[in-house]
Structure 1
């Protein structure tokens, strides 16, 4: 499973950090948020290094759909109701500024990253009212948005909202030249932070400023982000048009590109997203909370729709992404906690990591440099909007309790010999509970059934052959190696 971005771009390997160092600022995480933060700080003359537990852009960044947009679902009507029109306006301003800052960097650095300005649409197949509400809300926060009736999609829609002046690109082509300007240490896993020191498995880094840009924060206390976020997965297939497609509306054979004039997202959570890249159509959807896909079939549901809507298309790529969801749908960007004045965090981007990463870089740069910034308050991790957060706080808490008690109390019914080849599951073996994947040849791979983060019982994901945590979203491969944080330790069993 490889995204089109990672198939097209390879980063030069970087050395790991082998000795203790002292530096002004250290960024933990070399995804797009970490690299942008490092880049903007370095532009201000600040000495900065970035450390990465794996390789550059090896996490969520390589699996994004790479839409650079301030249109984050139907969010502005919701924000106005929950935090007021002034704060909602600053949210919109920050994300619009993020789009402009991408343009400025691409121009300044002369980056060829397939950057294209495109309109961004959210459509509804049934509910015109929610679209009209969002058009009005967007206008109130200073965004010029249009109500649109007809779209270039393979089904009828009731209504849509269009944001103009948005963009799309290849994120790895964008990051490649920036990464060459920065000091980055790969295979340097941060395992602990204490005051002004970051400890890795081989060295320690003393820094005036510490920035945690690891997608999901790995430090539980302080901050308590594990109580304020959960993670969700979504899936993408990339389609190439087949020969003889009769629908010019679908594919322009003369220009060898899909004939869509923008990026599209369904207002319905169970709907589908569309964007183009060169001669590919990226069809996304089938999302679910991490750890809640024991039946599988997410990719197959996308393929069924592709066969229905684009019968002559061929699948070239398929991949999945993981997103951190905050209680109130606003990212946490700023001080990690009130008790850590030298440590910062960037997390909770929902499904909008491109603009949120740039907003994070701008806010953290301004905090460290002492620049004025009117929108940082909106994203402060120390905020708490009761009306916006209470329901999700209770829901996430209940999921965590269920995962913990399931691991402690539930006895698995399945025995090892009953597990079919090509499947995984929690089984009882010699009186102990394990996670086991049995491959097509019958070889068994054992892991601990408990997540290394806080001990929730893991669930098998048959679409990706991974062990996923339903509490906080950590993921492991069939041998128990960590794929996604907040866990930093493996769970494999020799």
Structure 2
């Protein structure tokens, strides 16, 4: 193999060899039993569970189905969510920690049951999951996590090695976890939902929920209305916050993945380093061949070093795993998820007064089980069935310790980035941009964002996020403008890619004369 190089474009392997059905936008008012907003694992699983009980469902997706976080996951189906159980015991109590584990194991079992019962060909297979440390500090943390496993009766072992060329201090296993191909699995569920009469609408942006004599009415950006007994907001970040202040109770984090072909067979298992930056390893099948998925390098969205530096960090980790001529980078991509104050997702009624509007968010990058559990919890709520995990995941929980401290810390961080963006003085000039390069510029004395595409056309947008007024930063890996405050992301033309923002960035006309001269009366150039 030649020296490994990064592919030019970001692309998840899950979209290869998968036929995902497409749907038309909503073009009329609609009445149904349950309206679901968001076409990822939570929305689709909830639609499946409800449709099997002869509940009429309509699912609205702002973009295309499975094109968000679900389509860019590493797809580990596991209850081993980094180092969490000792922390949950200390801060939330034994019962909460045990119920969190049971909820995620039940989600794993539900996925396995659906795969088996419907004979879904999605590369589902059981694997042991491992956390491993490479430093003394995290060795001690893993030993404490192992004590938590023992206290919670979680099957696992403390081990001294893993089957990779990485020196470790110790490793902690969790037995009988799983992995799969998420889009093959969910594409099959979509067909089953359609067979039961479920409706799907893509390119349909929900912007509000109104109360109509006890019914929930979802209003779309195009002015259409969907009336239902329940509205389930499964849209990654809740498109409707009500009075829940969710944008102040979570932060967005990005992580990165490389699909790597290597000249050595995969030894089995799923792995995650707990040192910073974290790195994960699992296998997958791509074009009939075994590949390694190398992930990690997480950070707060819109903050820190350039995005390509995180891919370079993954490549350095690959250099430790393989010799330089032993591997090839086939694809690269990134994903984003939300993290709550206490690390447990928010699932349930959005407020105590709006019991028929439910949300599911804050999966902390463990959406295959947390998302499945959320779907089961919400469907049980709609069906009037008791669920043992309802209180654990309730969005209305807000314990003073540690939530209150983290609440102030996260909002202080937001304020810091808000001020920093306003005070920043851009130094790049438009004529200095290369093709396929973006940067912050100053135009007519104001901060703007400029991107010159591969054809040389320049795209100018206002850099003030339309959600809370923070200043977005350029993400050269995804060719997007990312907000460091609440994680909203916009395309280089200003369109919303991810919430909580609902309104695009303002565009500015800019006419190119040639590669080095630009015609804009306001620019000063």
Relative to the length of structure 2, the TM-score reads 0.88
CA-CA distance at 1:412 after TM superposition: 3.3
Asked if residue 338 in structure 1 is aligned to residue 352 in structure 2, the reply is yes
Contact 1:82 1:385 in 2 (8 A): no
Contact 2:461 2:493 in 1 (8 A): yes
The equivalent of 2:239 in structure 1 is 218
Contact 1:294 1:462 in 2 (8 A): no
Asked if residue 435 in structure 1 is aligned to residue 449 in structure 2, the reply is yes
> Which range is displaced more, 426-435 or 70-79?
426-435
Asked if residue 175 in structure 1 is aligned to residue 196 in structure 2, the reply is no
Contact 2:164 2:321 in 1 (8 A): no
* CA offset digits 1:70-120 (Å, max 9, x no partner): 011111000000111011111111111111111111111111100000000
CA-CA distance at 1:492 after TM superposition: 4.7
1:153 is paired with a residue whose SS is coil
Structure 2 counterparts to residues 175-254 of structure 1, below 5 A: 175-182=186-193, 183-195=199-211, 196-200=216-220, 201-241=222-262, 245=263, 251-252=264-265
C-alpha distance in structure 1 between counterparts of 2:206 and 2:85, whole Å? 37
C-alpha distance in structure 2 between counterparts of 1:294 and 1:460, whole Å? 11
1:270 is paired with a residue whose SS is coil
The equivalent of 1:272 in structure 2 is 279
Relative to the length of structure 1, the TM-score reads 0.93
CA-CA distance at 1:142 after TM superposition: 2.8
CA-CA distance at 1:455 after TM superposition: 1.5
CA-CA distance at 1:392 after TM superposition: 2.5
C-alpha distance in structure 2 between counterparts of 1:445 and 1:489, whole Å? 18
> Which range is displaced more, 29-38 or 263-272?
263-272
The equivalent of 1:298 in structure 2 is 310
C-alpha distance in structure 2 between counterparts of 1:317 and 1:3, whole Å? 7
C-alpha distance in structure 2 between counterparts of 1:179 and 1:345, whole Å? 21
Q: Which runs of 5+ in 1 are unaligned?
A: 246-250, 253-257
For these two proteins, the number of residue pairs brought into alignment is 480
CA-CA distance at 1:422 after TM superposition: 4.4
C-alpha distance in structure 2 between counterparts of 1:335 and 1:149, whole Å? 45
The equivalent of 2:98 in structure 1 is 89
Contact 1:235 1:285 in 2 (8 A): yes
C-alpha distance in structure 1 between counterparts of 2:449 and 2:242, whole Å? 28
C-alpha distance in structure 1 between counterparts of 2:495 and 2:104, whole Å? 35
C-alpha distance in structure 1 between counterparts of 2:461 and 2:64, whole Å? 24
Structure 2 counterparts to residues 54-203 of structure 1, below 5 A: 54-127=63-136, 128-182=139-193, 183-195=199-211, 196-200=216-220, 201-203=222-224
CA-CA distance at 1:273 after TM superposition: 0.5
Structure 2 counterparts to residues 301-380 of structure 1, below 5 A: 301-310=313-322, 311=324, 312-380=326-394
C-alpha distance in structure 1 between counterparts of 2:203 and 2:223, whole Å? 10
> Which range is displaced more, 376-385 or 410-419?
410-419
Contact 1:407 1:455 in 2 (8 A): no
CA-CA distance at 1:447 after TM superposition: 0.9
CA-CA distance at 1:439 after TM superposition: 4.1
* CA offset digits 1:369-420 (Å, max 9, x no partner): 1212222111111111222223432221012212333454544344434555
> Which range is displaced more, 279-288 or 386-395?
386-395
CA-CA distance at 1:150 after TM superposition: 1.3
Asked if residue 46 in structure 1 is aligned to residue 67 in structure 2, the reply is no
The equivalent of 2:39 in structure 1 is 30
C-alpha distance in structure 2 between counterparts of 1:51 and 1:492, whole Å? 25
Structure 2 counterparts to residues 391-410 of structure 1, below 5 A: 391-410=405-424
CA-CA distance at 1:450 after TM superposition: 0.7
C-alpha distance in structure 2 between counterparts of 1:445 and 1:274, whole Å? 38
CA-CA distance at 1:10 after TM superposition: 2.6
* CA offset digits 1:187-222 (Å, max 9, x no partner): 111122112110111411011100000001122432
Q: Which runs of 5+ in 2 are unaligned?
A: 1-9, 194-198, 510-525
1:104 is paired with a residue whose SS is helix
C-alpha distance in structure 2 between counterparts of 1:269 and 1:395, whole Å? 20
CA-CA distance at 1:47 after TM superposition: 1.5
C-alpha distance in structure 2 between counterparts of 1:131 and 1:476, whole Å? 38
> Which range is displaced more, 332-341 or 426-435?
426-435
The equivalent of 1:248 in structure 2 is none
